[in-house]
Amino acid sequence: MYVRLRSLAFFPGFRPLGSDRFASRNTNPAEVQDSMLVGVPREVKDQEFRVAATPAGVREYAAKGHGVLVEQSAGEGSGFPDVEYRAAGAQIVERADEVYARADMIVKVKEPVSTEFDLLRPGQILFTYLHLAADAPLTETLIRTGVPAVAYETVQIENGILPLLTPMSEVAGRMSVQVGAHHLEKAHGGNGTLLAGIPGVAGATVVIIGGGVVGTNAAQIALGMGANVTVVDRSLDRLRQLDTMLHGRMNTLASNTESVADAVQRADLVIGAVLVPGAKAPRLVSEAMIASMRPGSVVVDVAIDQGGCIATARPTTHSDPTYVVHSVVHYCVTNMPGAVPRTSTIGLSNATLPYGLMLADLGLYGAIARDAALAKGVNVLHGKVTNAGVADAFGLDYTPLLDAMRIEAAA
């Protein structure tokens, strides 16, 4: 559903964010703005092979009159060579700094890392996953530079669904069981339990903390592989839904300290799948709980990009994905879907493209006036933190989005 924030009409002189080349100062969100130059840099995070736009997505931007800059080889890791981007209408540039210097909007997959901080420009829309509640340096950079930052993971529609986070949560949830099964193998540090078991020998016990998108997908795969599955969640309604959806084939537990501790102690594989949109993940599994697990058990904390829901979790990379605490193998890679980039890139682009087109067509203010879900994606604007979860994570002042816009209008 589209929602118009009519109060924008009272902000005279607003210049549509995202392009220094926009001549119009019209604040009517119903009117399409001038063309925008969209930049797609190559991802630089460790073994991150996804790309923010496919050639099909570039073609959609071009069809609406927008230019697209794609850094050389940005799509090769996902199976999209430069020649396909050129055929779709993109201009291929050799260096990331040229993309950042020229583009009105930067569309990425993962949050900028330190080597990219100095490339960001005030007024240039940043549209990507940010996970700011677990990233103080990036939060400080966005505040200091005044870059308008729109986070995929906090775009939220009325029913609470996070449409731009969902596809990667689906991938990560399914992958969590794959990597968990892999690391349960003795050669990879595990206790030597086959997830599926065999006739006469029980399969592994899998405990999933959180029954959202990640947890649901993890449960589906674990059940399909023959594991004994328990999902823990604080919402009884959600547990009822999962019980019906999965035909009673798994156990469900209401979340409290005792139930989590008991479940974790019995588990061969624990999957952390807790999410509070925009905020730092709550630590529901304590170090004492991890210490109670059998040696060679495995933990996969999918919530690690929001700080992790397991006390002993710390971020790892695809190059060095695991470490051991209390004889328990921990897998805490912050960009799990990057390991399956072809699937992940297409799934992500399918979800983000409509919102990217809206930003390109209308500019930032017009787009967030048109779509209330996109407005929730704005985490930082003009140096003000406009997401309460991010502000709370660092003890910063929270500025409601409209107030941040008023401050800019008065400047």
Nearest Cα residue to 90 out of 122, 48, 52? 52
- Domain end among 299, 318, 334: 334
Residues 301 and 317 in one domain: yes
Q: Which of 66, 131, 330, 382 is catalytic?
A: 131
Q: Residues 188, 320: one domain?
A: yes
Residues 144 and 35 in one domain: yes
Chain centre distance of CA 352:
11
Residues 247 and 383 in one domain: no
Q: What are phi and psi of 83, to 5 degrees?
A: -60, -35
Same domain, 172 and 294: yes
In order along its 411 residues, the chain shows pLDDT tens digits of: 333 343 443 333 344 444 444 333 333 333 445 789 999 999 998 899 999 999 999 999 999 999 999 999 999 999 999 999 999 999 999 999 999 999 999 999 999 999 999 999 988 999 999 999 989 999 999 999 999 999 999 999 988 899 999 999 999 999 999 999 999 999 999 999 999 999 999 999 999 999 999 999 999 999 999 999 999 999 999 999 999 999 999 999 999 999 999 999 999 999 999 988 878 899 999 999 999 999 999 999 999 988 999 999 999 999 999 999 999 999 999 999 999 999 999 999 999 999 999 999 999 999 999 999 999 999 999 999 999 999 999 999 999 999 998 876 666
Known catalytic membership, residue 46: no
Asked which of 283, 308, 334 is the last residue of a domain, the reply is 334
H/E stretch holding 253 reads strand 251-254
Question: Do 24 and 111 share a structural domain?
Answer: yes
Helix (H, G, I), strand (E, B) or coil at 299: strand
Residue 13's domain comprises 6-154+341-410
Are 353 and 316 members of one domain?
no
Q: Does any domain span residue 349?
A: yes
Task: Look up 131 and say whether it is catalytic.
Answer: yes
326 and 358 in a single domain? The answer is no
Do 315 and 346 reside in the same domain of the chain?
Answer: no
Strand partners, 378: 150
Q: Is 239 in the same domain as 366?
A: no
Please, what's the b/e burial string for 59-76 (b: 16 or more CB within 10 A of its CB; e: otherwise)? Answer: bbbbeeebbbbbbbebbe
CATH for 179: 3.40.50.720
- The SS3 of residue 62 is helix
69 in a structural domain? yes
Six token digits for residue 336: 């799990």
Sign of CA dihedral 270, 275, 280, 286: negative
* pLDDT value of residue 215: 97
Q: CA 332, CA 309: separation in Å to the nearest integer?
A: 11
Among candidate residues 233, 305, 361, 371, the one labeled active-site is: 305
Q: What is the pTM assigned to this prediction?
A: 0.88
* 233, β-bridge pairs: 254
Residue 1: inside a domain: no
Where a domain ends, among 280, 305, 334?
334
Q: Could you tell me how far CA 219 lies from the centroid of its own chain?
A: 20
Q: Give the orientation angle of helix 213-224 with respect to helix 166-184, to 10 degrees.
A: 40
> 334 by DSSP, 3-state: which?
coil
Q: Are 325 and 312 in contact (CB under 8 A)?
A: yes
How high is the pLDDT of residue 276? 85
> Would you say residue 161 lies in a domain?
no
| Claim to verify: residue 399 and residue 302 sit in the same structural domain | no
Residue 160 included in any domain: no
CA atoms lying within 13 Å on the CB side of residue 31: 9
Structure tokens at 99: 């993309």
Give the chain's domain count.
Answer: 2
Residue 159 domain flag: no
Q: Could you give phi then psi for residue 373, rounded to 5 degrees?
A: -65, -45
Co-location of 219 and 72 in the same domain:
no
Q: What is the largest CA-CA distance in the chain?
A: 74
Domain assignment present for residue 267? The answer is: yes
Alpha carbon distance 270, 110 (integer Å): 25
Residue 119 burial (CB count, 10 A): 17
- Judge whether 210 lies within some domain: yes
